[in-house]
Amino acid sequence: MELKNVTFAYDEGSIAALADVSFEIPAGSVTAVVGTSGAGKSTLVNLLCRFYDPTVGAIIVDGVDLRELDVRDWHNRISVAGQDAELMTGTIAENISYGKPGASEDEVRIAAALANATEFIVELPDQFETRVGTRGLRLSGGQRQRIGLARALLCKPSILVLDEATNALDSLSETAVQQTLEQLRGGTTIVIIAHRLSTIRDADYVVVLENGQVVERGRPEELFSTNGVFSKLYELQSVGLPR
């Protein structure tokens, strides 16, 4: 995928949420998009999912403008796991299989394992048949995130977008999810939208957004050495963590 001079404003005459943004997302790569709140990260997710189209510029997929692709086909290729998983009243198995109606029990269990959710699920009274309550309120934030990730992984997308999808996880769970992403590397294009920078140390490529614009981009090790925005953000969050 390639963003070419993408500008987007939610309302005519309003300040652009993204302004003249250009960068590539290589197939099979792990690309991280980072920045503080209000930098434009969520807007970028909305555009990648084609919930909106750019006001100016284009998103190109395999040489074709995203607007020319069938929306249903595109949504079958891309999955999103976010920080607030939208769970429905029902069982854990039903919530995971929502990502692929008709999925087998084995498929649901494999997806749960990939999302590091199996350990807490099997400790629940009814395991995969445990009812999660309205909007999943019987589960913790981290548990809801892992169910949402399992749902996203179930359909084996060619493009996986993680929108702050691990910010409620403890360090051990986050490490397990990172190991899963490592298994997917090369076969799945992964876009990580992150505020917590510990999640993207192993990314192939980093794009730094600030006030809706790309202010830095490159490999993590390159950006560490520049003493720029990314390096300073990382230092603020990573005291005591190795680079």
Whether 219 is in a domain gets the answer no
Helix (H, G, I), strand (E, B) or coil at 33: strand
Using alpha carbons, list the distances in angstroms from residue 32 to 103, 121, 148. 30, 29, 19
Q: Which domain holds residue 203?
A: 2-210+226-237
CATH number of the domain that residue 97 is part of: 3.40.50.300
Q: How confident is the model at residue 196 (pLDDT cuts 50, 70, 90)?
A: low
Task: Give dist(CA 136, CA 8) in Å, integer.
Answer: 33
Whether 221 is in a domain gets the answer no
Task: Give dist(CA 147, CA 207) in Å, integer.
Answer: 27
Q: 208 is written with which tokens?
A: 């730094």
pLDDT for 121-130, tens place per residue?
A: 999 999 999 9
Q: What's the domain count of the chain? A: 1
Nearest to 168 by CA among 190, 189, 191, 149: 149
For residue 3, the surrounding DSSP H or E stretch is: strand 2-8
Whether 216 is in a domain gets the answer no
Q: Kindly report the average pLDDT of the chain as a whole number.
A: 87
pLDDT for 141-167, tens place per residue?
A: 888 888 999 999 998 999 999 887 666
Q: 39 is written with which tokens?
A: 């930098």
Whether 107 is in a domain gets the answer yes
